[in-house]
Structure 1
Amino acid sequence: MTIVDAGQQWIHSLLRSLLWGGGVTAVSMLFTYAAPHFLAALTDILRTRPTRPAPESSQGIVRRQVIQQDHDRIKDEYGQLCIDLFRAAELAILDDLTVPEAAALIQALAEANDAAETTDYPTYEKAVLRLAKAWRRAQALIESAEPCTVVYGARAPAAPSTSPGAELAWRRPHPPIPRERRTCR
């Protein structure tokens, strides 16, 4: 055997030991870092899943979407009424909770909003139907009301006609105007 052959055998055995040692190191590192992920995936696969209720039929889904759209439409229309400055007289009618239609509308709106947050679909559907009925009655009340001018306060006198020690009329406290006088019926 020559020195070259001995050198080649030594390099070959060195490479073989390095490869085996490196392979063992690589496999041990793989198991050290990959084993938790592998076990997590395995336990996720073997884990029992809770049973889910049967999905609603497409007709039920469409019906719920229609009910939600009606609810949103009525809320939007009522919100537009509340912020529209030119419809203040109509809002004054609906703000008067002594009017049965206005009280029913506010009650139905609160019930529908509460029912929307639950998972009980029949209750939500009934609440939205009551809201739609109350909204139609409130709109009929608004349309049947005569337009009127709402008086909110007393006017200041045109010229000071009082003596210097007397209290001005517009500074005197006035009793609040009852709601019956503010709205036209």
Structure 2
Amino acid sequence: MTMVDAAQQWIRWLQLVLLCGVGVVAFIVFTYKAPYFVATLTDILRPRLSRPAVDARAVRWQVIQRDHDRIKDEYGRLCIDPFRCAELAILDDLRVPEAAALIHALAEANDAAEKTDYPTYEKAVLHLAKAWRHAQALTESDEPCTVVYRAFAPAAPSTSPGAELAWRRPHPPIPRERRTCR
């Protein structure tokens, strides 16, 4: 065996070792990356379902209902919280204009919700939100005691002494099941 033959044999052996090493590395990489490759490929080739068009009116109806429910829940939590009796005393007294406006707006929004008339319901809930903000501002003032004393201060009677007082609804009625927007 000549020197040239030995060199050629050594080069072939080196090529075989490198080829096997590259093959082993390729096999390892393919084994670890194959699931990612298959997942990406199936995600690309999967047919996409088209989403139905979103009805803006239905979304707006849900937002209005959520606002109405949120205000009723906050008012209900106020009514059952024993540590907020001063605030409740202000909001239960219908001689306070903000409290009367809140109760009236609650009743109006509940009535509009039962009729499922969208424009009327939206206006009623917007009016309710405004009345609720004013009522909260009244109860969160720096000196609520002066507001309470002002609310309970004797005022001139609005009816004659023998007349019966009008029925007052101090709390909103129990919410009924709502119909969805069509």
- TM-score (norm: length of structure 2): 0.50
Residues paired across the two proteins, number: 98
**Quick one: distance in 1 between partners of 2:90 and 2:61?**
32
Deviations 1:35-81 (A, max 9, x none): xxxxxxxxxxxxxxxxxxxxx96111100000000000000000000
Counterpart in the other structure of 1:169: none
Tell me how far 1:119 sits from its aligned partner: 2.4
Counterpart in the other structure of 1:120: 117
What letter is aligned with 1:107?
H
**Quick one: distance in 1 between partners of 2:133 and 2:104?**
14
Q: Secondary structure at the match of 2:143?
A: coil
- Please list, as runs of the form range in 1=range in 2, the aligned pairs for 1:140-179 lying within 5 A after superposition: 140-144=137-141, 146-148=143-145, 179=152
List alignment gaps of at least 5 residues for structure 1: 1-55, 150-177
Structure whose CA Rg is larger:
1
Give the alignment's Cα RMSD to 1 decimal: 2.1
Tell me how far 1:145 sits from its aligned partner: 5.2
Over 3 Å counting, the alpha-carbon distance change for 1:111 and 1:82 in structure 2 is same
**Quick one: distance in 1 between partners of 2:130 and 2:60?**
18
Counterpart in the other structure of 2:56: 59
**Quick one: distance in 2 between partners of 1:72 and 1:127?**
13
- TM-score (norm: length of structure 1): 0.50
Over 3 Å counting, the alpha-carbon distance change for 1:147 and 1:141 in structure 2 is closer
- Please list, as runs of the form range in 1=range in 2, the aligned pairs for 1:1-185 lying within 5 A after superposition: 58-144=55-141, 146-148=143-145, 179-180=152-153
**Quick one: distance in 2 between partners of 1:136 and 1:121?**
22
What letter is aligned with 2:90?
I
What letter is aligned with 1:68?
Q
**Quick one: distance in 2 between partners of 1:148 and 1:126?**
33
Over 3 Å counting, the alpha-carbon distance change for 1:147 and 1:122 in structure 2 is closer
What letter is aligned with 1:80?
R
**Quick one: distance in 1 between partners of 2:134 and 2:77?**
17
What letter is aligned with 1:125?
E
**Higher normalized contact order (CA 8 Å, seq sep 6+, divided by chain length):** 2
Moved over 6 A (4+): none
**Quick one: distance in 2 between partners of 1:146 and 1:93?**
12
| Aligned residues with identical type, % of pairs | 78
What letter is aligned with 1:59?
A
Q: Secondary structure at the match of 1:144?
A: coil
Tell me how far 1:114 sits from its aligned partner: 0.4
**Quick one: distance in 2 between partners of 1:137 and 1:84?**
20
